[in-house]
Amino acid sequence: MNWETRLTKLLNIKYPIIQGGLAYLAYADLAAAVSNAGGLGQITAMSLQNPDELRREIKRIKQMTDQPFGVNFAIGQHGRPYEDMVHVAVSECVPVISVTGGNPKGVLDIVKDHPIKILVLVAARKQAVKAEALGADAVMVVGQEGGGHLGRNDTGTFVLTPQVVDALKIPVVASGGIVDGRGLMAALALGAEGVEMGTRFIATEECQSAHELYKQALVNADENATVVIKRSLGTPARALKNKWTDHILELEAQQLGYEALKDYINGRANQRYINEGYIEEGFAWAGQGVARINDIPSVHTLIQNMITEAEGIRRKWEDLG
Protein backbone atom coordinates (compact mmCIF):
# COMPACT_ATOMS: atom_id res chain seq x y z
CA MET A 1 0.00 0.00 0.00
CA ASN A 2 1.03 3.57 -0.59
CA TRP A 3 1.90 5.52 2.58
CA GLU A 4 2.63 8.84 0.90
CA THR A 5 1.55 11.99 2.76
CA ARG A 6 2.85 15.56 2.50
CA LEU A 7 5.14 14.61 5.38
CA THR A 8 6.70 11.58 3.69
CA LYS A 9 7.27 13.69 0.56
CA LEU A 10 8.77 16.54 2.59
CA LEU A 11 11.18 14.25 4.42
CA ASN A 12 11.64 11.76 1.58
CA ILE A 13 10.73 8.75 3.76
CA LYS A 14 8.64 5.65 3.05
CA TYR A 15 6.41 5.52 6.11
CA PRO A 16 4.98 8.51 8.05
CA ILE A 17 6.75 7.51 11.27
CA ILE A 18 9.27 9.68 13.14
CA GLN A 19 11.41 8.62 16.10
CA GLY A 20 11.30 11.50 18.57
CA GLY A 21 14.32 12.96 20.31
CA LEU A 22 15.26 10.75 23.29
CA ALA A 23 17.72 12.27 25.74
CA TYR A 24 20.67 9.93 26.52
CA LEU A 25 19.06 7.19 24.39
CA ALA A 26 18.87 8.18 20.72
CA TYR A 27 22.29 7.84 19.17
CA ALA A 28 23.28 6.75 15.66
CA ASP A 29 22.41 3.05 16.21
CA LEU A 30 18.74 3.63 16.99
CA ALA A 31 18.32 6.50 14.53
CA ALA A 32 19.90 4.56 11.64
CA ALA A 33 17.70 1.54 12.39
CA VAL A 34 14.56 3.69 12.18
CA SER A 35 15.68 5.37 8.96
CA ASN A 36 16.66 2.02 7.42
CA ALA A 37 13.21 0.65 8.34
CA GLY A 38 11.50 3.43 6.35
CA GLY A 39 10.84 6.02 9.09
CA LEU A 40 12.85 9.06 10.18
CA GLY A 41 15.40 8.35 12.90
CA GLN A 42 16.92 11.16 14.92
CA ILE A 43 20.09 11.69 16.92
CA THR A 44 19.50 13.69 20.12
CA ALA A 45 22.11 16.45 20.04
CA MET A 46 21.78 17.90 23.51
CA SER A 47 22.71 14.68 25.29
CA LEU A 48 26.10 14.78 23.57
CA GLN A 49 28.91 16.54 25.41
CA ASN A 50 30.09 19.00 22.77
CA PRO A 51 29.95 19.89 19.06
CA ASP A 52 32.80 17.46 18.20
CA GLU A 53 30.85 14.55 19.67
CA LEU A 54 27.83 15.54 17.61
CA ARG A 55 29.96 15.66 14.45
CA ARG A 56 31.28 12.16 15.23
CA GLU A 57 27.76 10.84 15.77
CA ILE A 58 26.55 12.38 12.49
CA LYS A 59 29.50 10.85 10.62
CA ARG A 60 28.68 7.50 12.26
CA ILE A 61 25.03 7.54 11.16
CA LYS A 62 26.07 8.44 7.62
CA GLN A 63 28.06 5.17 7.59
CA MET A 64 25.02 3.24 8.85
CA THR A 65 22.28 4.51 6.52
CA ASP A 66 21.86 6.24 3.19
CA GLN A 67 18.32 7.23 4.16
CA PRO A 68 17.25 10.65 5.56
CA PHE A 69 17.72 11.20 9.29
CA GLY A 70 17.31 14.07 11.73
CA VAL A 71 19.16 15.78 14.57
CA ASN A 72 17.01 16.83 17.52
CA PHE A 73 17.62 19.90 19.69
CA ALA A 74 15.78 20.21 23.02
CA ILE A 75 16.98 23.78 23.51
CA GLY A 76 15.25 24.59 26.77
CA GLN A 77 16.86 21.78 28.71
CA HIS A 78 20.38 21.16 29.96
CA GLY A 79 20.90 24.95 30.22
CA ARG A 80 23.63 24.84 27.59
CA PRO A 81 24.20 26.98 24.49
CA TYR A 82 23.06 25.09 21.41
CA GLU A 83 24.19 27.36 18.54
CA ASP A 84 27.57 25.64 17.95
CA MET A 85 25.83 22.27 17.79
CA VAL A 86 23.31 23.57 15.24
CA HIS A 87 26.20 24.93 13.12
CA VAL A 88 27.76 21.44 13.18
CA ALA A 89 24.51 19.86 11.97
CA VAL A 90 24.26 22.48 9.22
CA SER A 91 27.88 22.02 8.11
CA GLU A 92 27.31 18.25 7.97
CA CYS A 93 24.27 18.92 5.71
CA VAL A 94 21.92 16.79 7.81
CA PRO A 95 18.57 16.29 6.02
CA VAL A 96 16.33 17.24 8.98
CA ILE A 97 16.60 19.24 12.20
CA SER A 98 13.92 19.17 14.90
CA VAL A 99 13.66 21.60 17.75
CA THR A 100 11.67 21.78 20.96
CA GLY A 101 11.69 23.14 24.49
CA GLY A 102 11.87 26.85 23.76
CA ASN A 103 11.54 29.54 21.11
CA PRO A 104 12.70 27.84 17.88
CA LYS A 105 13.61 31.16 16.21
CA GLY A 106 17.33 30.90 17.05
CA VAL A 107 17.61 27.50 15.34
CA LEU A 108 15.39 28.50 12.40
CA ASP A 109 17.54 31.59 11.77
CA ILE A 110 20.72 29.50 11.56
CA VAL A 111 19.14 26.90 9.30
CA LYS A 112 16.94 29.02 7.04
CA ASP A 113 19.20 29.43 3.99
CA HIS A 114 20.14 25.74 3.91
CA PRO A 115 18.29 22.84 2.27
CA ILE A 116 17.42 21.33 5.66
CA LYS A 117 13.86 20.55 6.69
CA ILE A 118 12.84 21.91 10.08
CA LEU A 119 10.35 20.19 12.37
CA VAL A 120 9.17 21.95 15.52
CA LEU A 121 7.73 19.91 18.42
CA VAL A 122 5.11 21.80 20.44
CA ALA A 123 2.44 20.97 23.03
CA ALA A 124 -0.18 23.66 22.36
CA ARG A 125 -2.06 25.23 19.43
CA LYS A 126 -0.62 28.71 20.03
CA GLN A 127 2.96 27.40 19.83
CA ALA A 128 2.08 25.50 16.65
CA VAL A 129 0.77 28.66 14.98
CA LYS A 130 3.93 30.51 16.01
CA ALA A 131 6.18 27.73 14.68
CA GLU A 132 4.45 27.88 11.30
CA ALA A 133 4.78 31.68 11.20
CA LEU A 134 8.51 31.40 11.98
CA GLY A 135 9.03 29.09 9.00
CA ALA A 136 8.79 25.49 10.27
CA ASP A 137 8.27 22.93 7.49
CA ALA A 138 6.08 20.73 9.70
CA VAL A 139 4.88 20.79 13.29
CA MET A 140 4.82 17.85 15.67
CA VAL A 141 2.31 18.16 18.46
CA VAL A 142 2.58 16.13 21.65
CA GLY A 143 -0.45 15.40 23.82
CA GLN A 144 -0.65 14.80 27.55
CA GLU A 145 -0.21 11.03 27.15
CA GLY A 146 3.37 11.45 25.95
CA GLY A 147 6.63 10.60 27.67
CA GLY A 148 9.05 13.31 28.79
CA HIS A 149 8.18 17.02 28.71
CA LEU A 150 4.58 18.00 28.08
CA GLY A 151 2.37 21.05 27.71
CA ARG A 152 1.15 22.90 30.79
CA ASN A 153 -2.56 22.59 29.99
CA ASP A 154 -2.98 18.80 29.98
CA THR A 155 -4.57 18.54 26.52
CA GLY A 156 -4.65 15.00 25.14
CA THR A 157 -3.50 13.91 21.68
CA PHE A 158 -7.07 13.29 20.49
CA VAL A 159 -8.08 16.93 21.05
CA LEU A 160 -4.79 18.67 20.31
CA THR A 161 -4.10 17.01 16.95
CA PRO A 162 -7.24 18.05 15.02
CA GLN A 163 -7.15 21.46 16.72
CA VAL A 164 -3.63 22.07 15.38
CA VAL A 165 -4.42 20.50 11.98
CA ASP A 166 -7.26 23.00 11.56
CA ALA A 167 -5.07 25.93 12.59
CA LEU A 168 -2.11 25.26 10.23
CA LYS A 169 -1.40 24.91 6.51
CA ILE A 170 1.83 22.88 6.90
CA PRO A 171 1.78 19.14 7.74
CA VAL A 172 1.09 18.16 11.34
CA VAL A 173 2.57 15.11 13.07
CA ALA A 174 0.69 13.60 16.02
CA SER A 175 2.64 12.49 19.09
CA GLY A 176 1.87 11.17 22.56
CA GLY A 177 0.55 7.70 23.37
CA ILE A 178 1.10 6.23 19.89
CA VAL A 179 2.67 2.76 19.88
CA ASP A 180 1.14 0.74 17.05
CA GLY A 181 -0.75 0.61 13.75
CA ARG A 182 -4.02 1.54 15.42
CA GLY A 183 -2.42 4.69 16.78
CA LEU A 184 -1.01 5.51 13.35
CA MET A 185 -4.43 5.15 11.70
CA ALA A 186 -6.13 7.16 14.45
CA ALA A 187 -3.60 9.98 13.96
CA LEU A 188 -4.21 10.02 10.21
CA ALA A 189 -7.97 10.03 10.81
CA LEU A 190 -7.50 13.12 13.01
CA GLY A 191 -5.84 14.89 10.09
CA ALA A 192 -2.19 14.33 11.00
CA GLU A 193 0.14 13.32 8.18
CA GLY A 194 2.43 11.24 10.33
CA VAL A 195 3.23 10.14 13.86
CA GLU A 196 6.13 10.72 16.21
CA MET A 197 6.87 8.05 18.83
CA GLY A 198 9.25 8.22 21.77
CA THR A 199 8.56 5.58 24.42
CA ARG A 200 7.83 2.78 21.92
CA PHE A 201 11.27 3.11 20.32
CA ILE A 202 13.06 2.70 23.67
CA ALA A 203 11.79 -0.88 24.01
CA THR A 204 13.63 -2.06 20.90
CA GLU A 205 16.79 -4.07 20.33
CA GLU A 206 18.63 -1.17 18.73
CA CYS A 207 18.08 1.26 21.61
CA GLN A 208 21.30 -0.07 23.05
CA SER A 209 21.95 2.69 25.59
CA ALA A 210 18.66 1.91 27.37
CA HIS A 211 19.44 -0.49 30.24
CA GLU A 212 17.66 -3.87 30.04
CA LEU A 213 15.90 -3.12 33.36
CA TYR A 214 14.44 0.08 31.86
CA LYS A 215 13.18 -1.82 28.81
CA GLN A 216 11.74 -4.51 31.08
CA ALA A 217 10.03 -1.85 33.22
CA LEU A 218 8.38 -0.49 30.06
CA VAL A 219 7.16 -3.96 29.11
CA ASN A 220 5.83 -4.65 32.63
CA ALA A 221 4.11 -1.27 33.02
CA ASP A 222 0.34 -0.78 32.90
CA GLU A 223 -1.79 2.32 32.36
CA ASN A 224 -1.22 3.47 35.96
CA ALA A 225 2.54 3.20 35.78
CA THR A 226 3.38 6.80 34.91
CA VAL A 227 3.21 10.10 36.82
CA VAL A 228 3.75 13.74 35.88
CA ILE A 229 6.59 15.38 37.81
CA LYS A 230 8.02 18.94 37.72
CA ARG A 231 4.57 20.50 37.43
CA SER A 232 5.45 22.86 40.29
CA LEU A 233 8.34 24.19 38.19
CA GLY A 234 6.08 24.90 35.20
CA THR A 235 7.77 22.14 33.16
CA PRO A 236 5.56 19.06 33.57
CA ALA A 237 7.03 15.79 32.33
CA ARG A 238 5.84 12.18 32.40
CA ALA A 239 7.98 9.49 34.00
CA LEU A 240 7.68 5.91 35.25
CA LYS A 241 6.40 5.94 38.81
CA ASN A 242 8.92 4.67 41.37
CA LYS A 243 10.16 5.58 44.87
CA TRP A 244 12.26 8.35 43.34
CA THR A 245 9.27 10.06 41.64
CA ASP A 246 7.18 9.54 44.83
CA HIS A 247 9.82 11.54 46.67
CA ILE A 248 9.89 14.24 43.98
CA LEU A 249 6.10 14.58 44.22
CA GLU A 250 6.34 14.87 48.03
CA LEU A 251 8.87 17.68 47.70
CA GLU A 252 6.68 19.36 45.09
CA ALA A 253 3.61 19.09 47.34
CA GLN A 254 5.59 20.95 50.02
CA GLN A 255 6.32 23.68 47.44
CA LEU A 256 10.02 23.61 48.24
CA GLY A 257 11.05 24.93 44.83
CA TYR A 258 13.89 24.17 42.41
CA GLU A 259 16.74 24.13 44.96
CA ALA A 260 15.16 21.23 46.86
CA LEU A 261 14.37 19.36 43.64
CA LYS A 262 17.43 19.86 41.50
CA ASP A 263 19.45 16.80 42.59
CA TYR A 264 16.42 14.58 42.00
CA ILE A 265 15.51 15.83 38.53
CA ASN A 266 18.90 16.39 36.89
CA GLY A 267 20.45 14.49 34.00
CA ARG A 268 22.59 12.42 36.35
CA ALA A 269 19.51 11.03 38.15
CA ASN A 270 17.99 10.30 34.74
CA GLN A 271 21.06 8.48 33.46
CA ARG A 272 21.43 6.43 36.66
CA TYR A 273 18.10 4.80 35.88
CA ILE A 274 17.99 4.64 32.10
CA ASN A 275 21.62 3.93 31.20
CA GLU A 276 22.92 2.27 34.36
CA GLY A 277 19.84 0.35 35.52
CA TYR A 278 19.54 1.69 39.10
CA ILE A 279 15.77 1.73 38.80
CA GLU A 280 15.01 3.03 42.29
CA GLU A 281 17.84 5.58 42.36
CA GLY A 282 16.77 7.81 39.53
CA PHE A 283 13.92 8.49 37.12
CA ALA A 284 13.00 7.48 33.58
CA TRP A 285 10.68 9.28 31.19
CA ALA A 286 7.84 7.25 29.67
CA GLY A 287 4.40 7.89 28.20
CA GLN A 288 1.05 6.30 29.00
CA GLY A 289 1.53 4.15 25.90
CA VAL A 290 3.68 1.85 28.07
CA ALA A 291 0.42 0.11 28.92
CA ARG A 292 0.46 -1.28 25.39
CA ILE A 293 4.15 -2.11 25.02
CA ASN A 294 4.59 -5.85 25.49
CA ASP A 295 7.77 -6.75 23.65
CA ILE A 296 11.28 -5.65 22.73
CA PRO A 297 11.45 -6.21 18.97
CA SER A 298 13.97 -4.98 16.43
CA VAL A 299 13.06 -1.59 14.99
CA HIS A 300 12.46 -3.20 11.59
CA THR A 301 9.98 -5.71 13.09
CA LEU A 302 8.27 -2.96 15.09
CA ILE A 303 7.70 -0.77 12.04
CA GLN A 304 6.66 -3.69 9.83
CA ASN A 305 4.15 -4.85 12.47
CA MET A 306 2.76 -1.32 12.72
CA ILE A 307 2.37 -1.03 8.97
CA THR A 308 0.81 -4.52 8.66
CA GLU A 309 -1.71 -3.66 11.38
CA ALA A 310 -2.47 -0.28 9.80
CA GLU A 311 -2.89 -1.84 6.36
CA GLY A 312 -5.36 -4.35 7.84
CA ILE A 313 -7.39 -1.43 9.18
CA ARG A 314 -7.26 0.36 5.82
CA ARG A 315 -8.58 -2.76 4.08
CA LYS A 316 -11.38 -3.07 6.64
CA TRP A 317 -12.34 0.57 6.09
CA GLU A 318 -12.32 0.10 2.31
CA ASP A 319 -14.68 -2.89 2.72
CA LEU A 320 -17.01 -0.64 4.73
CA GLY A 321 -17.10 1.79 1.78
Ligand X SMILES: Cc1cc2nc3c(=O)[nH]c(=O)nc-3n(C[C@H](O)[C@H](O)[C@H](O)COP(=O)(O)O)c2cc1C
Tell me which residues touch ligand X (CB under 6 A). Answer: 20-23, 25, 44, 72, 74, 100, 121, 142, 145-148, 175-178, 196-200, 285-287, 289
DSSP 180: S
The distance of closest approach from Cβ of residue 197 to ligand X in the complex, given in angstroms and rounded to an integer, is: 4
- How many residues are given for the chain? 321
CB-wise, 74 or 107, nearer to ligand X? 74
Contact 110, 104 (CB under 8 A): no
| Cα separations in angstroms, 26 against 43, 58, 208, 235 | 5, 12, 9, 22
Q: Which residue is nearest to ligand X (CB)?
A: 198
Sheet bearing 237-240, strands edge to edge:
148-149, 237-240, 226-229
CB of 149 to ligand X, least distance (A): 7
Distance CA 272, CA 187 (A): 34
By C-beta, is 157 or 232 nearer to ligand X?
A: 157
3-class secondary structure per residue, 190-220: CCCCCEEECHHHHCCCCCCCCCHHHHHHHHH
Residue 319 CB, shortest distance to ligand X, in Å, is 30
Which residue, 171 or 289, is less far from ligand X as judged by CB? Answer: 289
CA distances from 235 to 153, 230, 275 (A): 11, 6, 23
Could you tell me the smallest distance in angstroms from the CB atom of residue 315 to ligand X? 26
CA angle 123, 288, 226 (to 5 degrees): 105
Nearer to ligand X, 202 or 259 (CB): 202
Minimum CB separation of residue 150 from ligand X in Å reads: 9
Which CB, 66 or 223, lies closer to ligand X? 223
